[in-house]
A = this chain, B = another copy of it.
Amino acid sequence: MITVLRIGHRISRDKRITTHVALVARAFGADNILIDSIDKKIEETINSTCNRFGGKFKIETGIDKRKVIKEWNGTIVHLTMYGDKLEKSIKKINKEKNLLIVVGAEKVPPYIYESADLNISIGNQPHSEVAALAIFLDRFLEGKWINRKFNGKIQILPSDKGKKVKSKVK
């Protein structure tokens, strides 16, 4: 089980970035996302995507992040530009255990660095938690997202020109 924990979400400022984090979590193979602030709008957006495009991804907002971290039964990874090298760190993760991936917004409190089993950087340059999560999941799941089936009501078929959409929606 792979869970993404999005912390420091501010509804007005972060709504689109957090939506992208959630969509990336779903598309690249996580099972669910937990978001610290209550945000019904983002729940609706993600649930609507799941409803149309398939899969069993779950979203929950307004969770107590300290409690989630404290009670986590498995490995906790924190993605940060200050973290240790990706290739080296990823080998240390036991794939048999549940994995919690913590993804912060701008300021991350020190206890997150301390509580994580591994602080991992996707390069040490400033970029994006959306990209960091995608690259991390890509490496961790060895690129398997590319063949993942979601069996949604809407399926997009690969096409070099134009749009090929297979829809079970009447």
Q: A residues within 8 Å of B by Cβ?
A: 13-14, 16-17, 20, 23-24, 26-28, 49, 53, 81-87, 89, 113-114, 118-119, 121, 123-128, 130-131, 133-135, 138, 145-146, 148, 150, 155-165
Contacts and interface: CB of A to CB of B under 8 A. Distances in A.
A53 B16 contact: no
A85 to B, nearest CB: 5
B53 A130 contact: no
Copies in the complex: 2
Contacts of A150: 125
- Please provide the 7 A-B residue pairs with the shortest distance between their CB atoms, ordered closest to farther: A131-B134, A20-B128, A124-B156, A130-B130, A27-B127, A27-B125, A23-B127
A144 to B, nearest CB: 11
A121 B82 contact: no
Contact of A126 (B14, B49, B113, B164): B49
A52 B133 CA distance: 24
A53 B17 contact: no
A82 B159 contact: yes
A38 to B, nearest CB: 21
